[in-house]
Amino acid sequence: MGTSATRDTAENRRRTNGAPDVDAVVVGAGFAGLYMLHRLRGMGLSVQVFERGSGVGGTWYWNRYPGARCDSDSVEYSYQFSDELQQEWRWTERYPGQPEILRYLEHVADRFDLRRDIHFETTVAEAVFDEAAGCWRIATEDGANLSATYCIMATGCLSAVNRPAFDGLDRFEGAWYHTGAWPHETVSFAGQRVGVVGTGSSAIQSIPLIAAEAQHLTVFQRQPNYTIPARNGPLDEAEYAAVRANYGELRRRAKRTATGSWWHPNPTAAAEMSAEEREGEMEARWQRGGLSFYGVFDDLLANGEANGIATEFIRGKIRTQVRDPEVADLLSPHSYMGCKRICLDTDYYETFNRPNVSLVDISDAPIEEITRTGLRAGGKEYELDTIVFAIGFDAMTGPLLRVDIRGAGGRSLREKWADGPRTYLGVAIEGFPNLFTVTGPTSPSVLTSMVPTIEQHVEWISDCIAHARACDRPRIEATRAAEDAWMEHHEEVAAETLFPSCNSWYVGANVPGKPRTVTPYTGGFATYIEKCDAVVANGYEGFSLTTG
Ligand code: NAP
């Protein structure tokens, strides 16, 4: 690790004075970490970033699987903190592909000269609060140490992969990959018998491309998902120019919505519409493509009947696209729609009409083991040359808990969260002073458009740090009462939704043994922003600020 680079003369001086090495350590160099570094540096703080990958990008550095693409429109899925940046960058397609987003983030890193403070290929193993010195001591896997007044976890929501824990994987003689840790080299499937395990977003994006190349593709499905046509294509120049001329207003408007997105939610409940109106609304959103299907009825995520109308519509669409009725049936979900993340696809259902693709239902016949030459599920052997595990992530808490974080009095975050995460606003944790989480558990994060939600957090956290420094009380900590009140509100609003009823990663159901709790805040982005702003207006209500 290049820590020598961090220990310039000024820092050495601080060390001999007993002061921490730097003002802030940021963990992660994706969308969140890059902006956090830029922002704190702009406030005059010394900052060092630790990043596991060999380059910037976070999610978009790791997820290089075939077809990896963002489900948000490119014009939305970008920073707004710099108008020059949003004016000079040119997206090419409606939804940006992984290589294009990675190029964008590399451009951002260069444009704002960020790389000089980032330590790549450096995994943080431990962050321990040193009560006497009032600082965080950060230790990396390769044995380096750094102390900082503030520690900001910009580790992302979906960065800890759900590792395949199947018996026999080490004996498999073919190649295997996880979509969330894809190699940098091109992977060829030509002439191969390929198995894809999983049918979430990553699988739904990669399956059509793998099928087009492989000799045969077998998809192993535990639960089907709802997917809407993406309808990707090149950006229309005139429309794009209009967006660029109006970015400010479009961004402001998005912040007043529940999801932070630009699409218009239908403000009417399903029961208040006629059958024709409902059909028209669903068809229009299906034809337009994209995640705006979430906004089809005002009560889609709160009312089982409204939800049932939408799901019957989707099942009808599946039946018209998939020729074999048995396969169509297997691909048709019967759970509520939206309490698992809705997927977007290009030619997903049509792929199952190909003669070289088969679908295997493993809902009642799980994968028993990986064999030397394939896998066995439901007592049947499947011969495979390559297995692609598209089995998702230990979402939201995983990226934080894989670091051994210990707060005041040596208290471990793993212990504190043994029954599920508890935070204040998803940014701070009682007992862990001067530790902040960008889009942490119980923040709206994954239920909103990720980049605006990240920017809101980065700005809120950096303003909070600026406040603590300005009033000369640099130790800031969420109080127990504030955390309890936030968690009560979080649980109350979640209980009014359909989210608790689905076995999704939103509730941790995809990771065996994980406590079941609705992890993201379901109250909506606009409400969340209001709450964060009120905390500031009331003098950082719910935080104790001390000299430390
Ligand atoms: P995911 O949605 O969690 O899907 C994982 C899939 O693997 C599910 O079908 C799951 O089945 C299956 N699975 C997990 N463990 C299994 C096991 N032991 N045996 C058999 N099947 C197993 O993961 P993902 O597709 O990587 O997506 C995760 C999230 O990342 C998305 O929801 C989305 O938020 C984000 N993402 C976004 C994009 C985009 O913007 N375009 C693309 C990819 C991912 P069950 O459903 O039965 O659990």
User: Does any ligand 1 atom lie closer than 6 A to the CB of residue 335?
Assistant: no
Q: Answer for the pair 376, 177: CB distance below 8 angstroms, yes or no.
A: no
What average pLDDT score do residues 406-430 get?
A: 98
Mean of the pLDDT values across residues 178-203?
97
Q: Which atom of ligand 1 is nearest to the CA of 392?
A: 23
Amino acid identity, position 112:
F
How many residues does this entry show for the chain? 548
- Residue with tokens 């029961």, as numbered in its chain: 271
Which residue's CA is minimally distant from atom 4 of ligand 1? 200
Q: What pLDDT score was predicted for residue 16?
A: 53
CATH 3.50.50.60 corresponds to the domain 6-161+395-546: yes
Q: How many CB atoms lie within 10 A of CB 534?
A: 10
Instruction: With a cut of 80, say whether residue 10 has pLDDT above it.
Output: no
* pLDDT exceeds 80 at position 251: yes
Cα(212) to centroid of ligand 1, in Å? 21
The two tokens of residue 11 are 């820092």
Q: How far apart are CA 31 and CA 236, in angstroms?
A: 26
Q: Name the region of 467 (left: φ>0; alpha: ψ -120 to 50; beta: rest).
A: alpha
Q: How far apart are CA 281 and CA 262, in angstroms?
A: 17
Mean of the pLDDT values across residues 2-24?
Answer: 59
Question: Residue 27: what pLDDT?
Answer: 98
Task: State in Å: Cα 340 to ligand 1 middle.
Answer: 9
Three-class secondary structure of residue 536 per DSSP: helix
Q: Are 223 and 361 in contact (CB under 8 A)?
A: no
Using the structure block, give the residue that is written with the tokens 């939600």. 453
- Decide if 39 contacts 462 (C-beta within 8 A): yes
CA atoms within 13 A on the CB side of 425: 30
Instruction: Give the per-residue pLDDT at 13.
Output: 41
- The Å distance, Cα 218 to ligand 1 centre, comes to 17
Mean of the per-residue pLDDT values for the chain? 95
Helices (H), 373-449: 398-401, 413-416
Residue intervals of the chain classified under CATH 3.50.50.60 are 6-161+395-546, 163-225+342-392
Distance of CA 392 from the midpoint of ligand 1 (Å)? 4
* Alpha carbon separation from 139 to 159, 371, 398, 406 (Å, rounded): 20, 39, 18, 12
* CATH code assigned to 163-225+342-392: 3.50.50.60
CA 524 – CA 489 distance, rounded (Å): 12
CA 269 to the chain's CA centroid: 29
Report the share of the chain in percent with pLDDT over 90. 95
54-90, pLDDT tens digit by residue?
999 999 999 999 999 999 999 999 999 999 999 999 9
pLDDT of residue 17: 67
Over its C-alpha atoms, the chain yields an Rg (Å, rounded) of 24
Residue type, 257: T
Tell me what pLDDT residue 12 has: 46
Digit-coded pLDDT (tens) for 110-129: 999 999 999 999 999 999 99
Cβ 76 under 6 angstroms from ligand 1 = no
Q: How far is CA 242 from CA 15, 105, 269, 535, in A?
A: 52, 24, 32, 36
Contact at 8 Å (CB) between 140 and 449? no
SS3 state at 431: coil
**How far is the centre of ligand 1, averaged over its atoms, from the C-alpha of 61 (Å)?**
18
Q: Which residues sit opposite 171 in a β-bridge?
A: none
pLDDT at 165 over 60: yes
Confidence of residue 6 (pLDDT cuts 50, 70, 90): very low
User: Is the model's pLDDT at 131 over the cut of 60?
Assistant: yes
Residue in the structure block whose two tokens are 């190699």: 183
What pLDDT was estimated at residue 18?
76
Q: Is the CB of 201 under 6 A from ligand 1?
A: yes
pLDDT tens digits, one per residue of 263-319: 999 999 999 999 999 999 999 999 999 999 999 999 999 999 999 999 999 999 999
